[in-house]
Structure 1
Amino acid sequence: MEGVYVPLITPFSEDGAPALGVLEKLAVECLHAGATGLVALGTTGEPASLSDAEREAVLDVVAGVCRDTGAPLLVGANTPGRLAAVPTGAAAALTLVPPFLRPGEDGVVAYFEALAAVSPVPLVVYHVPYRTGQPLTAATLRRLAAIEQVIGVKYATGAVDAEAVALLADPPPGFAVLCGDDTMLSPMLALGASGGILASAHLQTAAFVQLVAAWRAGDVARARPLGRRLARLSAAVFAEPNPTVVKAALHAAGRIPTPDVRLPLLPASTAAVDEVAPYLYGSLLE
């Protein structure tokens, strides 16, 4: 797994229902701009606020786009029940490290061993300790990589930390390290990450794709300035809780019918939308 994966929002219509036709168009636009694949029902898609029927409809739309285009699909699924609903044609399930319980690193490994035994598709570990409360060392990530069905990690620790450096200094064979902190994408790619799962890539998708390509080609002179420009975009997108700002930006650009989010999220502020406005049109590529 490498490249840019876009964790799709769930756009809402004026009546509050998921705008499935808009979602399909957005998915196609991201892929046509060069994204490698899509994530359905990731946290950016507000899955906890969707009904079972809405989640199924969203997944059907995104899976259909991926099937028609041949693009890899990742599906957010954190329990055996949710994993059972993942289409067998999906590339992987994006599965969160158990949140809140803080089971310890041995508990995390045992948890993923159990999920891998029943999952119909491979697993990508979603490691986001500032949300889950459970840190993982590079050694534990290597233990997870040794599980046959675990094929990668969305690495989102909020920093390019010592564990990331240790992991990428000698990455496990066949194990993808995907950056999950959008502002950290360029330095993670410089260390050897294979790509990213990036909510910011709803905007300026082609520029994110080119950043990955530049680092993988060793074109440092191109990658560094592009990485700085995209980091500023990502900082603006994440100035308020995700996906509030990206939805407001897509609405301002006329790509989705409303900027609406569901509780407990609140709409993005005018100031946040003003910060992201310069990135809505034109290109960050030079």
Structure 2
Amino acid sequence: MTAPPPVYVPLVTPYTASGAVAYDALEALARGLLAEGAAGLFALGTTGEPESLEPDERAAVAELVGRVCREAGAYFAVGVGGGRDLGPWPVEPDALLATVPAFVRPGEAGVVAHFTALAARARLPLIVYHVPYRTAQPLSARALRTLAAIPGVTGVKYAVGGIDADTVDLLGDRPAGFDVLAGDDVFAPALLALGATGVVAASAHLDTAAWVRLAATGDRALGHRLAARAAALFREPNPTVIKAALHAEGRIPTADVRLPLLPARPESLAAVAAVAAVGAVDALPPGVRPAVRLGT
């Protein structure tokens, strides 16, 4: 039986009341997500506020998350922003998540040249993080196929803020061995239905088992519920509302974020509560287990 698309969680970075990184809470959160069925974890992605962490904090977070993943036999990726810091890492990741260059808008040819050079320097597989509403750099399906042909580029975290003709084009003729990971939580159920090979969902901090079941079964009603929940969790800049929800559940010690982010407003947390929690889900069908490795 073919393994269902894996669900990966890009971890928040919890803080103590004094503002330090709450490493104990981070470890407990990481272990809990894997126990709920997440196939792996992404450290130092946008959800983890990497630009607000000191270099020693980033290294410690990556080491902790990597250790937890290795002990659990789970997938482990590290966000490297535009690719300035490619390691080495205390625990070697399975892949590096590198963002399409932001602000400079180099054009598709410039993006391809950038990732060609990056892949030549990196010792590890690269996942392209394509999020044009943050980077201001659109990419066509043709450009993404060109990126897929670069040795060492193994996938894309696809977060374009919707579903357009390029989305349908790419997923309708996905390059062999190139993973397309749904990276925009509200649209992730639809992308799975179109053929995405996995999910990287910050909202899967909550309702983790339900996300795993969605990937395994394609349950349309469940997908609608998870999309509605995700919309509530993204009412304010990520990860502010997710942290507020995790704190309300007692899973992290504070809901704090670091500047330039501000804590979520009470009404945003109330909006999450107003969307009925998905709650417990039935066990996956016999013999069906989420995949742990990319490259399907």
Verify: 1:144 aligned to 2:140, yes or no.
no
Q: Distance in 2 between matches of 1:3 and 1:141?
A: 21
Verify: 1:45 aligned to 2:41, yes or no.
no
Contact 1:203 1:280 in 2 (8 A): no
Match of 2:110 among 95, 107, 110: 107
Contact 2:42 2:79 in 1 (8 A): yes
Q: Distance in 1 between matches of 2:194 and 2:80?
A: 28
Contact 2:11 2:43 in 1 (8 A): yes
Q: Distance in 2 between matches of 1:91 and 1:61?
A: 15
TM-score (norm 2): 0.91
Contact 2:66 2:91 in 1 (8 A): no
Verify: 1:4 aligned to 2:7, yes or no.
yes
Contact 1:75 1:86 in 2 (8 A): no
Residue aligning to 1:98: 101
Contact 2:80 2:98 in 1 (8 A): yes
What pairs with 1:253-272 in structure 2 (closer than 5 Å)? 253-272=249-268
Distance change (3 Å), C-alpha of 1:90 and 1:279: farther
Q: Distance in 2 between matches of 1:87 and 1:78?
A: 18
Residue aligning to 1:243: 239
Contact 2:210 2:278 in 1 (8 A): no
Any idea what the Cα deviations from partners look like across 1:56-97, whole Å, max 9, x if unmatched? 111111011011111111100135541123457311101000
Q: Distance in 2 between matches of 1:154 and 1:275?
A: 27
Question: Which structure features the higher share of helix residues?
Answer: 1
Distance change (3 Å), C-alpha of 1:275 and 1:144: same
Q: CA deviation at 1:272?
A: 0.5
Match of 1:203 among 203, 206, 225: 206
Distance change (3 Å), C-alpha of 1:284 and 1:32: closer
Residue aligning to 1:14: 17
Residue aligning to 1:225: 221
Any idea what the Cα deviations from partners look like across 1:237-262, whole Å, max 9, x if unmatched? 00111000000000000000000000
SS where residue 221 of structure 2 aligns?
helix
Residue aligning to 1:273: 269
Distance change (3 Å), C-alpha of 1:186 and 1:282: closer
What pairs with 1:151-162 in structure 2 (closer than 5 Å)? 151-162=154-165
Residue aligning to 2:73: 70
- Corresponding letter in the other structure for 1:44: T
Q: Distance in 2 between matches of 1:251 and 1:78?
A: 27
Residue segments in structure 1 that go unaligned for 5+ positions in a row: 216-222
Q: Distance in 1 between matches of 2:250 and 2:106?
A: 44
Q: CA deviation at 1:200?
A: 0.1
Contact 1:177 1:195 in 2 (8 A): yes
Residue aligning to 2:136: 133
Q: CA deviation at 1:285?
A: 3.3
Distance change (3 Å), C-alpha of 1:91 and 1:279: farther
Residue aligning to 1:186: 189
Identical aligned pairs, as a percentage?
Answer: 56
- Corresponding letter in the other structure for 2:139: L
Distance change (3 Å), C-alpha of 1:81 and 1:282: closer
Q: CA deviation at 1:190?
A: 0.7
RMSD: 1.6
Aligned residues: 279
SS where residue 47 of structure 2 aligns?
helix
SS where residue 125 of structure 1 aligns?
strand
Contact 2:226 2:278 in 1 (8 A): no
Q: CA deviation at 1:2?
A: 3.9
Residue segments in structure 2 that go unaligned for 5+ positions in a row: 283-296
SS where residue 86 of structure 2 aligns?
helix
SS where residue 247 of structure 2 aligns?
helix
Q: CA deviation at 1:276?
A: 1.2
Structure number with the bigger relative contact order (C-alpha 8 A, sep ≥ 6) is 2
TM-score (norm 1): 0.94
Any idea what the Cα deviations from partners look like across 1:189-216, whole Å, max 9, x if unmatched? 111001111000000000001000013x
